[in-house]
Chains A and B, each alone.
Chain A
Amino acid sequence: MTTTPDTAASTPPPTADWVDPLAMQRDPYDTYDRLRDLAPVVHVPALNRYLVTTSDACRAIESDQETYSARAGGAAATMVRALGGTPMLRRDDPDHATERGPVNPPLRPKRVREAWAPLFERNAETCLAALLEKGPDEADLDHDFAAPLAAYNLVDMLGLPMADPQDVRRWSHTFIEGIGNIQDDPDIWVRCDAAQREVDAVLDDLLPRLRAKPDGSITSALANAGLTDDQVRANVKLTISGGLNEPQHMTTTIVRALGDHPEQRELALSDPARWPAVFDEALRWCSPVGMYPRETTRPAVLEGFRLPAGAALGVVVAAANRDPSAFPRPADFDITRPRQPHLGFGSGVHRCAGHWAARIAVGEIAVPLLHQRIPTLRTDALRAGNWSGWVFRGLTDLPVTW
């Protein structure tokens, strides 16, 4: 697991000229397996970067931010372009810690349980009522439950009661589209610019009020941490991006996986202590954030492969989470696996700040509530749902019946 240059013992990474980004968009897992079989890090000309696909190599990168910087530039600068500013996720320590520190206290598990869990429960009940209203012939778990629930929860945690949850959904999906826009589609940037202006308009009004009268929200924590307005705005937009799309995808992924594995569904329903393992396994099995960028600050050797300074890397945690050397039978969804760390939330200082909130909101509240109230809930075989994406991956729809 060395990252110090030892050029004598190292070789350049192999090149994979056969990688087809469009095929990855549909289903990246075959590509991930082939890349991993070649080497832990492989040069992929079609993506203009190196892809890192093993568990050990991804962890080595995340434990050395001096060599592998999050301040990825060039083609990897999509997040800064999408959000119109540099959020903490594209900074290294100590700059990163200045912005990350303030959001940690409202997101530790005790505060999440005391302050947010009652709201998560109320929101889940509201969305469940809407799903039931839609009925077993037309209900779509993504549109009628997962997306609105993630939006309501996010509005509460960010403290944006004046924002329409529908708008928050649109902003999030637009920013996520932009962050994943490594093909540089100009139409996506136009939509991102418009979403930035709408969020800025909300914050123009909100930030002075939160500075005069702080509350327990994440926006308030950022606004009262001595950061500039630009820093606060970029990080609120980051939270809107990851705080909605990812919990939305986790909700539908879990329901789909349990629907496809009725014996495991029965196991969870008969023993509620298993719900945390259900969440964890779904996050490993189909990680909603599939890849994020890093850039070498100096020549480096990663798992025996030589990288130049300035190399654009894609840390493919979705592939690392299916690495057979770390997880036996990696493609199988199996909630009875022995518990072990995976990279679904990332690792190191950039590990998802909302990981406790997600575990509790989705894994302990929303998904168990759905299955308890609708014990026969299952994927509607007549109206199949669709998986999409690799940088971000999830179901675009999930017709359900009961």
Chain B
Amino acid sequence: MPRVTFHHDGGSSEAFDIAAGMNLMRAAVTNGVRGIVGECGGQAMCATCHVYVREPYLRALPRPGEDENEMLDRVAAPRDPRRSRLGCQVTLDAVADEIEVDIPVSQT
């Protein structure tokens, strides 16, 4: 079962086993993870599910699509050219079955 770890500013973290095919925004919102808002329900329309993917897990992910790339320009916290992603566009599956992300200090 895929596993996601959310790291908060200040050092605490939360880890969850999630269903294959679930995206990180949904995983965060259903588990009540602070700091992920997900206002638009996963349509890449709001830029409030910003996460920084930790380096070792970047290679297994497909690159951001055009919509995600555009919305990443609108995130509230600074955009990292490599690590910034929208949680709603990152899905865990058999290939990328583990991930650790940092939650930015602000989403709005």
Residue positions of A touching B, CB distance < 8 A: 1, 62-63, 100-101, 104-105, 107-110, 339-341, 345, 347-351, 353, 355-356
Contact = CB atoms under 8 A, between A and B. Distances in A.
Contacts of A339: 76, 106, 108
A351 B48 contact: no
A108 B67 contact: yes
Contact of B71 (A101, A108, A341): A108
B39 A1 contact: no
A105 B32 CA distance: 29
Interface residues of B, number: 22
Contacts of A109: 70-71, 74
A221 B48 CA distance: 25
B48 to A, nearest CB: 7
B108 A351 contact: no
A351 B45 contact: yes
Contacts of B44: 104, 108
Contacts of A107: 45
Contacts of B39: 341, 345, 347-348, 351
B42 interface: yes
Contact of A348 (B40, B67, B70): B40
Contacts of A340: 108
A314 B1 CA distance: 38
A351 B46 contact: yes
B66 to A, nearest CB: 9
Contact of A351 (B29, B30, B40, B67): B40
A63 B43 CA distance: 14
B67 A100 contact: no
Contacts of B74: 109
22 contacts: A62-B41, A100-B43, A104-B43, A104-B45, A108-B67, A108-B70, A109-B70, A110-B73, A339-B108, A340-B108, A341-B39, A341-B108, A345-B39, A347-B39, A347-B41, A348-B39, A351-B39, A351-B41, A351-B45, A351-B46, A355-B46, A356-B45
B101 interface: no
A63 B108 contact: no
B51 interface: no
Contacts, number: 53
Given A109-B70, A349-B40, 18 more contacts: A1-B32, A62-B41, A63-B41, A101-B43, A104-B44, A104-B45, A107-B45, A109-B71, A110-B70, A339-B106, A341-B48, A345-B39, A347-B39, A348-B40, A348-B41, A351-B40, A355-B45, A356-B45
B24 interface: no
A357 B46 CA distance: 12
Contacts of B76: 339
Nearest to A100: B43
B29 A349 contact: no
B99 interface: no
Nearest to B71: A108
B35 to A, nearest CB: 12
Contacts of A348: 39-41
A53 B91 CA distance: 34
A155 B76 CA distance: 32
B92 interface: no
Contacts of B108: 339-341
A355 B40 CA distance: 10
Given A1-B32, A63-B29, A349 B48 contact: no
